[in-house]
Structure 1
């Protein structure tokens, strides 16, 4: 593969692809520039020349453009040294490729201070032979530039046709990655917007050592802007996959040397073709996903009458639901949408479901993973070797770690619930309902991002099984009396009561936890007993009070 032209101003953490043009060192090989001498800025000879211009007036700055080779007879340079220093700085900061000067007619030499500044900036200043006409230089170099641009476009069109052919023949992202690897000669990956690898080709075994991936294998899109960037042992080039203003991911090509302009341009054309493949696959997945989700929803809600037939049908979908399973329900946490902003629920939910499908596929390819609009449901096989609830929670925790990755990239927090094991298919509806309850209760108890197992909910699990909220509310009001009213003062007193119950009415320990003076807590206990009764002496009343507080905690009554 070709090499990218280096920016003469020094190394950069984020190299951009060189524009279509010729490196200055190649331009100097033109026959019309035979005998040209580099007076200063030799470190910038890899700067790219895209166009030429002639300067014969002092106020040339408004007309210069980046990547331009500026030719002059020296007439406009008959100024003070300070003015020439300012001109060199301005030309360099505007991204010019170089300044070519004919000396001895208007100017015999350039001041040493100007040449030193050009050397410091790696801004090339070239002396052109006095006998050569600017029109000859313009004709020859412009012809070479046009030929170069035509070659790049021709190669890009060839690559584009090859990639489009892959898609039209039914190929997917893996086939596109393989074709790009053949064209570019290095490993290629295709990722989701948050960096999950959807497709890969080439020698990808050592890519983890590049530092471009987090420990879960996700490409660090948050730290990897588009363009060419160096890594240990080579370079990688990232281009976005965008269709209809929607970010569909990235194509990343790895190489020993930076891709040149033609390769980067080809990669950008490949991203357009990849967008076509992604949108096509999304359309197929949407139809198949709805069919799969409808089938699994019927199974999990008990609407399937012939369970053995449903099990057999699940097998045709690649799912094994006859083994012991746990239901895992993951819900995105709610966010506040600004007034007037259109909520982007479906794309976010779809990406969330895709993340779970991608992660679970590697651990348990026979596990159903479906998107139920507001939740993602996974029926996960029990870990081999047993281990009970702890082993299940560790396995699910590892999946969560991979879904979350290193964060960033617009990824939303989510809450998750885990059911008890279901040993047979007919137990799956109960497991699904347990997981849903675990999500709701966990979020109520711990806020957004909660992870809750149904088996570890304790008394909260029993309270959640009572469907009659009016009965629960009546119990709360009967036990707490005036303390049940929703006021700041009552909330403060309920907090004091809860800590007293947790410490078995040990006043010293409760005062320490609440950061109260001992006598202040004694006063509060007296006030509480006037409201709810002598709970410090009545164990049954303490139980009722604890249950009432838990009901308020879960149900928000």
Structure 2
């Protein structure tokens, strides 16, 4: 990057005189133009250093004020005025006005032709820009090779920091340090310290395409920090943070930094797609397991044999939590935003829950933006953990998670039951006037079945109520089911049941005790008895 001051320090331009304060001459110069027209600002690009003889202003230099204003609006780098041809000197009022506007004015002596000055300055700028462009392309080529060779992002950041000889930090969408260059191993403060300083100065820095701010170092001295959005077209991008960017050696340019950020975005995208492929396999496995476990008369399967790959383990307790991100009103129709929010929530839970819950695994739910947490050991404080993790995400990104919690089961073959309960609890939670963060499944009875008579609900109710007696295949179980039905139909009278079945009274007592043991509840309880009779009737047609 070249500025007016840089150009004036070159020996060949030593006859040029800066008339305004030097601090205003640090604007970047990308181009040089010559013009005598007052409306030239409409036809030049930004960061242009304009050269003129001020011919049209020879009778009234106060008209230069308008030229200064128009050039400043166009973000021009400065104005060079040649004296001795049409004007003998630049009046003090022009200099004062330029200082007031903080716009640099350079005096050009009559001995220097403007055409020659134009060519000399352009050659200088073009030579530097060519060098910077070639260097940026070298960086792109080098880092593209790293991408092809599957180099880790941590290695990329380390090499990049060494290349530009200044500390570099990659920040994830949660405003956490994802990777950092080796510079921080030599300091008493980690990279997280500097990111905390950036967050204090600019809490929304991760959502900016490019910006710079001043923060405090260890000695409480201010220094410059620049940051670039790695995926600026995302709602939740990564950011590349560079400390002391003014110390980056020549010929590294902004273009070179942008090329590094571009390659880094490809690396992140590649990792994302690899993870998504694995998540799809997990989703298909969960979908298949739930469908098979819900189907009647299914033979037991060894789910651990194929589920170990997806995080399933042998345990004594299994419980499913159904999760979704609460939708915000302005973003209901923005599908891409909802997808990113879902992805952000999923990765947050995958990372955080592993620190609190043993052998927890997450699955995305097919054809939705929701996910299922499978907790594989009894966790007494599960709700508190979920609320804490959700609160942390909400504080960072204003994303609210909601949890429907199923019942604990002692067999992996009952994961589908806990899943249905968790999903039902989540759906019921959405109907509440005030949405809680977590909602436990409540056991359903006869009334709720009549509210929604779907086949899966009926099958589930029968299995959860009758257990092995719901859809029995073994002769002994079929006989127990028959006995239970007669016994309930005869209002629990043993004598009438024995007479109807042509067996001894003691046989009925023995069979009812077996039914009690299988069902796990007192069948003489009025509420349990009502559910059992309903379940027997609902499953009778399938059992014939």
TM-score by length of 1: 0.67
The structural deviation recorded for 1:189 is 0.8
Match of 2:19 among 39, 42, 45: 39
Q: Which residue of 2 aligns with 1:330?
A: 323
The answer as to whether partners of 1:92 and 1:123 remain within 8 angstroms in 2 is yes
Please, which of 428, 431, 434 is the counterpart of residue 444 of structure 1? Answer: 431
Whether 1:286 and 2:276 are equivalent positions in the alignment is yes
Partners of 1:339 and 1:405 in 2: CA distance: 21
Alpha-carbon distance between aligned partners in 1 of 2:452 and 2:48, rounded to the nearest angstrom? 79
Listed as ranges, the gaps of 5+ residues in structure 2 are 218-222, 454-544
Work out which of the residue numbers 162, 173, 191 in structure 1 matches 2:172: 191
Structure 2 distance, partners of 1:124, 1:331, is 57
Aligned length: 433
**Pairing 1:230–2:214 present:** yes
RMSD of aligned C-alpha atoms?
3.8
- d(CA) in 1 for partners of 2:15 and 2:262? 45
Unpaired stretches in structure 1, ≥5 consecutive residues: 1-20, 472-557
Residues of 2 paired with 1:42 and 1:211: CA distance?
35
Give the greater-gyration-radius structure (CA): 2
Q: 1:392 to 1:263 in 2, by over 3 A?
A: farther
Shift of 1:165: 0.9
Separation in 1 of the partners of 2:330 and 2:67?
Answer: 51
- 2:371 aligns with 376
Q: Distance in 1 between matches of 2:171 and 2:239?
A: 5
Q: Which residue does 2:403 correspond to in 1?
A: 416
1:248 and 1:275 in contact (8 A); partners too: no
| Counterparts of 2:300 and 2:154, CA distance in 1 | 39
- Tell whether the 8 Å contact from 2:171 to 2:177 is kept in structure 1 after alignment: yes
Change (3 A) 1:470 1:75: closer
Trace 1:53-452 onto structure 2 (pairs within 5 A): 53-184=33-164, 185-192=166-173, 199-202=179-182, 203=184, 205-211=190-196, 220=204, 224-233=208-217, 234-242=223-231, 249-258=237-246, 262-299=252-289, 303=293, 309-311=302-304, 313-320=306-313, 322=315, 324=317, 326-333=319-326, 346=339, 348-364=341-357, 366-373=359-366, 374=368, 375-380=370-375, 388=380, 391-408=381-398, 411=399, 413-422=400-409, 425-448=412-435, 450-452=436-438
For residues 158 and 299 of structure 2, the distance between their equivalents in structure 1, rounded to whole angstroms, comes to: 46
Cα contact 1:72–1:102 (8 A) shared by 2: yes
1:153, CA displacement in angstroms?
A: 0.9
Deviation at 1:27, TM superposition (A): 0.8
Give the superposition deviation at 1:368. 0.7
Question: What is the rounded CA distance, in whole Å, between the counterparts of 1:301 and 1:421 in structure 2?
Answer: 19
Instruction: Kindly indicate whether structure 1 or structure 2 has the higher relative contact order, using CA contacts under 8 Å at least 6 residues apart.
Output: 1
Tell me by how many angstroms 1:298 deviates: 4.4
SS at match of 2:140: helix
**Is the alpha carbon distance of 1:171 and 1:434 closer, same or farther for their aligned partners in structure 2, counting shifts above 3 Å?**
same
C-alpha contact (below 8 Å) 1:360/1:367 kept by paired residues: yes
Equivalent-residue separation in structure 2 for 1:382 and 1:340 (angstroms): 39
Paired residues of 1:237 and 1:264 also in contact (CA < 8 A)? no
State the shift of 1:446 in Å: 3.9
Rounded Cα–Cα distance in structure 2 between residues aligned with 1:342 and 1:257:
37
Pair 1:222–1:168, CA change in 2 (3 A): closer
- C-alpha change, 1:113 and 1:366, in structure 2 (3 Å) is farther
Note the alpha carbon deviations across 1:130-155, whole angstroms, 9 max, x for none: 22222332222111111111121111
